[in-house]
Amino acid sequence: MKRLGVNIDHVATLRNARGELHPNPLYAAKFVKKAGADSITIHLREDRRHINDLDAKKICSIKNLLVNLEISTNSKIVEIALKLKPDFICIVPENRKEITTEGGLDLKKNKDKIKKIISKFAKKRIRTSLFINPSLNDIRIANEIKTDCIEIHTGHLANLVKSGRNFSKELVRVKKSSKLANNLGIEVHAGHGLDYKTTKLLTKINEIQEFNIGHFLIGESVFYGLNKIINNFKKIIKV
C-alpha cells in the first residue's frame, strides 16, 4: 500500500500572515490524520518562516501521529530535531532566499556531514530520508552513507507535466532511480510539486511507497475542503 504524507507548512504560512493564532498547525495535524493521511510533514526552517519551534514541539508530541520532520544540515537545527524525536527525519537542502526547496541535496559535496547526521538519528532509531534529485549517482552515495529512505524531488517532472512539455525522459529518470534504490534496499518516497496528474503518473512506479504532498493539496482544499482532497489523493495512490 502506498502512503500519503501531508505537508502542513502552508497552514503555518497562512497563520503567520496575520501574526495571530489561526489557522493552527496543531489542529491541522490532527485534522489531516483524521481525514486519512498516513503521516504529516513539517519543515522547521532555519528562518522559521512557517513552522516554529513551539509548533514542532507540540506536533511531535501528538500521540498516534506519524511526524516527518524536514530539516537542513544546520547543526543547531539537527540538535533541535534530536530533542524533538519525530518519527521520521527528511534531510533537505535549504537556501535563504528560495521560495521552496528548489532541488535535491548535493550529496557529493556533503556526503560526510550527512553521514554523521544520519548516524545520530539512527542511534535514536529515527528513520531518515534524503531529499535528492532522480540521479543514479546520488542513489549510490545515499546507499554508501546508509540512509533508510530517499525522497525523490519530483519538482522538475511536475513542472514539465503542468506546462504540457515532454516529460518522458524525466519520468524514466525517476523510474530508474526508484528501481536502483529499491534494489539497494532503500525505501523510495516522492515529493514536490505534486498535483493529481503527476501523482497518478508516479503511481505506476511500484517502488515508490510514499508521497509527500503540500502546496497543491492545501491550495485545492480552500475550494473543496481537506477531507475531500485527501480522499481524492488516497484514491489516486491506491493502485
Q: Write out the residues near ligand PXP by the rule CB under 6 A.
A: 7, 43, 70, 90, 92, 100-101, 131, 151, 191-194, 212-216
Q: What is the grid cell recorded at 166?
A: 515532454
- The least CB distance from residue 56 to ligand PXP, in Å, is 14
215 catalytic residue (yes or no): no
22 catalytically annotated: no
Question: Catalytic one among 10, 43, 50, 189?
Answer: 43
> Which CB sits closer to ligand PXP, 4 or 84?
4
Phi, psi of 13 (to 5 degrees): -60, -40
Q: Which residue in the list 153, 192, 207, 210 is annotated as catalytic?
A: 192
224 CB-near residues (< 8 Å, 6+ apart)? none
Residue pointed to by grid coordinates 528513520: 127
Query: Minimum CB separation from ligand PXP for residue 232, in Å?
Result: 14
Rounded least distance, CB 192 to ligand PXP, Å: 4
Helix runs in 4-135, H state only: 9-18, 25-34, 53-60, 75-84, 107-123
Nearer to ligand PXP, 20 or 128 (CB): 128
Per the annotation, the verdict on 189 as an active-site residue is no
Mention every residue, 6+ apart, whose C-beta is less than 8 A from residue 185: 143
Q: How far is the CB of 7 from ligand PXP (least distance, A)?
A: 5
Instruction: Render 145-176 in DSSP notation, one character per residue.
Output: TT-SEEEEE-HHHHHHHHTT---HHHHHHHHH
Residue positions annotated with a catalytic role: 43, 70, 192
